[in-house]
Amino acid sequence: MKTKAVIVAAETKSYKRAEVVLVKVGEIKMSSRHISRIATDVGQQLLDKQRERAELLSRKQLPVEVENVPSLAVVSMDGGRIRTRQENCGSGTHEPRWRESKNALFLRMQSDIHENDPCPELPDFLKNRRYVRQLVLEMSGSADGVEEPPDEEVEETTNAKYDPPKRLMRTCLSSLDNSKTFGPLMAAEAHRKGFFQASRQAFIGDGMPCNWTIWKKYFPTFTPIVDLMHAVSYLYHAAVAIGETEDFGWGLCLEWTRACWQGRVADVIDEMSAWLLQQPNMTDAIEDDDPRRIVQTAITYLTNNRSRMNYPVYRQQGLPLTSALMESLIKEINWRVKGTEKFWNDPGGANPILALKAASLCDDDRLDKFLSSG
């Protein structure tokens, strides 16, 4: 009965829905509050187990738990959003706020290694104006999803196709930890899955400094890769700012995207910098939507991440270019925890549900195994 309550709590939208599903499908009558208590307890146990593994790793006592190490191990990290309230304050919602969750994805992947870049030309999906626009809007939180564009909107069709590495197995972690405490949890998860013994290793993230702080301290042997699509979003905004409209800026965006795809990030920085030099000097008082500010932001992003944008080499080595699977994971976690009507106790309710949902999304059946071992 406990096992069913926990699984339904993880796989439904709310504890109220879990109560309904248990009655209708499992013929188990259990109040939503009782389901919440059980799920919270299990979620906290999962998190405690993660911290225990991190402590064991620090003492070099954590075993590798897989017989076959992956040929390609990929780690990705990104932030999510969860709404919380102060706990132990009685009924009602006290001190509501949005908190950023830390999410980590660990992927066993399969890909080929090539003598040369297998896709030197920009693939058609990145030439599709509607696709790129929708993607940029989604990444900025202004769109509900990416719309699949019609073929006729693809410009300069060349049938160039990029085949990314294939996912074999994923595991994941999620919590309200900060970078200092989340890094050891990530290192422990990667260690027990044999990631540090993999012949090829990659760490993917956006340009947030916390990602690369964790990479530098815990995953320095992994090839650092900045998500291509985040870079494209900066190119798009800068090109539209310079062109003043998307109609005039799209051609420039396409040119810059092709340059980055081919590893010519320095050329893009030079072109943006040359345009900026021709403009009146900026002051601290200019608005965020001023074209100069937008272009300068793009220059800063590209400059800071240039060493992590060698995409032709990554393709040659069979490494992934994007954090698309990480973005998908966050959507799956957010489906359970995020909503205008949801306020999780901070941290006593938020951390357990994040740990529980992440465990339910792992391909190694860890939630079932954990429940059966208890």
Q: What sections of the chain are H helices per DSSP?
A: 2-11, 15-24, 32-58, 129-139, 179-192, 209-218, 228-243, 246-261, 265-277, 291-305, 311-316, 324-337, 350-360, 366-373
**Domain stops at, among 316, 346, 361:** 316
Number of domains in the chain: 2
Q: Based on the fold, state whether residues 216 and 246 are members of the same structural domain.
A: no
Per DSSP, what are the bridge partners of residue 79? 102
The whole-angstrom separation of Cα 178 and Cα 188 is 16
Residue 140 lies in a domain: yes
| Terminal-residue alpha carbon distance, the chain | 13
253 and 132 in contact (C-beta within 8 Å)? yes
Q: What are phi and psi of 360, to 5 degrees?
A: -70, -20
Residue 301 lies in a domain: yes
39 and 75 in contact (C-beta within 8 Å)? no
Closest to 291 (Cα-Cα) out of 364, 241, 240: 241
Question: Burial letters for 165-178: b for 16+ Cβ neighbours within 10 Å, e otherwise?
Answer: beeeebbbbbbbbe
Residues in CB range of 351: below 8 A, 6 or more apart: 43, 44, 47, 175, 176
Q: In which domain, by residue range, is 10 found?
A: 2-112+163-226+323-373
**Domain stops at, among 279, 297, 316:** 316
Per DSSP, what are the bridge partners of residue 80? 101
The whole-angstrom separation of Cα 8 and Cα 3 is 9
pLDDT of residue 348: 93
184 and 280 in contact (C-beta within 8 Å)? no
201 and 221 in contact (C-beta within 8 Å)? yes
pLDDT of residue 152: 42
Residues in CB range of 372: below 8 A, 6 or more apart: 3
Supply the pTM of this predicted model.
0.93
76 and 326 in contact (C-beta within 8 Å)? yes
The whole-angstrom separation of Cα 69 and Cα 91 is 50
pLDDT of residue 157: 58
The DSSP-derived string for 211-264 is HHHHHHHH-TTSEEEE-HHHHHHHHHHHHHHHHSSHHHHHHHHHHHHHHHHTT-
- Beta strands 166-175 and 200-205: pairing type? unpaired
Q: Based on the fold, state whether residues 151 and 185 are members of the same structural domain.
A: no
Residues in CB range of 150: below 8 A, 6 or more apart: 130
SS3 track for 249-305: HHHHHHHHHHHHHCCCHHHHHHHHHHHHHCCCCCCCCCCCCCHHHHHHHHHHHHHHH
Q: Based on the fold, state whether residues 215 and 333 are members of the same structural domain.
A: yes
**Domain stops at, among 283, 316, 349:** 316
Q: Based on the fold, state whether residues 245 and 328 are members of the same structural domain.
A: no
Q: Which two tokens stand for residue 268?
A: 């893009």
Residue 232 lies in a domain: yes
Q: Based on the fold, state whether residues 8 and 101 are members of the same structural domain.
A: yes
Q: What is the pLDDT along the chain (374 residues), one digit of tens a residue?
A: 899 999 999 999 999 999 999 999 989 999 999 999 999 999 999 999 999 999 999 999 999 999 999 999 999 999 999 999 998 887 778 889 999 999 999 999 999 999 999 999 999 999 999 999 999 998 877 554 444 444 445 555 566 788 999 999 999 999 999 999 999 999 999 999 999 999 999 999 998 999 999 999 999 999 999 999 999 999 999 999 999 999 999 999 999 999 999 999 999 999 999 999 999 988 777 888 899 999 999 999 999 999 999 999 999 999 999 999 999 999 999 999 998 789 999 989 999 999 999 999 999 999 999 999 86
Residue 221 lies in a domain: yes
Residue 59 lies in a domain: yes
Q: What are phi and psi of 205, to 5 degrees?
A: -160, 175
Q: What are phi and psi of 71, to 5 degrees?
A: -75, -30
pLDDT of residue 287: 86
Closest to 6 (Cα-Cα) out of 97, 24, 26: 26
The whole-angstrom separation of Cα 313 and Cα 306 is 13
- Cα–Cα–Cα angle for 299, 305, 307, nearest 5°? 125
Q: Based on the fold, state whether residues 108 and 129 are members of the same structural domain.
A: no
